[in-house]
Chains A and B, each alone.
Chain A
């Protein structure tokens, strides 16, 4: 299995609170992704990174920001959490040889916003 960890694995927070989720990889893959998964919607891309300090938006980026200051870490921040951001968040990596190839997923973070 690819070395991908996510922290925290579970979090409950209140509306209006900032939240940061962390994805850490030990594989030196180029690409990193944040997805959210909700019933009936499958996996939806929030943001992704194609290198250190290089990021771009996905289809559901409103209310989220990301940062990647080093290859191994990709942070997802909810500036002011809302109940609609209650979801399971998955991190993924790709690009073992620096080109887009097989994608591997982390274990997920379950976030509940009350």
Chain B
């Protein structure tokens, strides 16, 4: 399967700070998603971004498929951004492969 590495594993920010989360993957992909798992355990779709750049409010994501990485940018962080951020990829098969996540804590 595809190996997915996320960095950093843990991140603590002051409210208002910016951050960049990274997802590296070991093979070519045609499907990449970013999820946020909130403190209540719910998995929320952030971006479906197999290539290119997307923005949604304070969040944006960029995937450079040829170099096998994706970045998630969080600007002006808020306490509600706390939780775990997962990257998931897939290629020609039927499965998704997940990284182990980045745990983000935003301090007021």
| Residues B41 and A88 in contact, CB atoms below 8 Å apart | yes
- Would you list which residues of chain B between 20 and 55 have a CB under 8 Å from chain A? 31, 33, 35, 41-43, 45, 48
| Residues B45 and A48 in contact, CB atoms below 8 Å apart | no
A42 to B95, CA, bound (A): 15
A58 to B94, CA, bound (A): 10
Which residue of B has the minimal Cβ distance to A95?
B94
Number of interface residues of A (CB under 8 A): 25
Number of interface residues of B (CB under 8 A): 19
The answer, among B31, B33, B42, B100, for a CB contact under 8 Å with A42, is: B100
| Residues A43 and B94 in contact, CB atoms below 8 Å apart | no
| Residue B90, interface by CB 8 Å | yes
Tell me what chain A mostly uses at the interface: helix, strand, loop, or mixed: strand
| Residues B45 and A104 in contact, CB atoms below 8 Å apart | yes
Which residue of A has the minimal Cβ distance to B35?
A105
The answer, among B31, B86, B98, B100, for a CB contact under 8 Å with A100, is: B31
| Residues B31 and A101 in contact, CB atoms below 8 Å apart | yes
| Residue B61, interface by CB 8 Å | no
Give A20-57 as 1s and 0s: 1 = Cβ < 8 Å from B's Cβ atoms: 00000000000101000000111111001010000010
* Chain B neighbourhood of A104, CB < 8 A: 45
* Chain A neighbourhood of B71, CB < 8 A: none
10 other contacts beyond A59-B1, A107-B42, with CB at 8 A cut-off? Answer: A48-B94, A50-B94, A88-B41, A94-B96, A100-B31, A101-B48, A102-B33, A103-B45, A103-B96, A105-B35
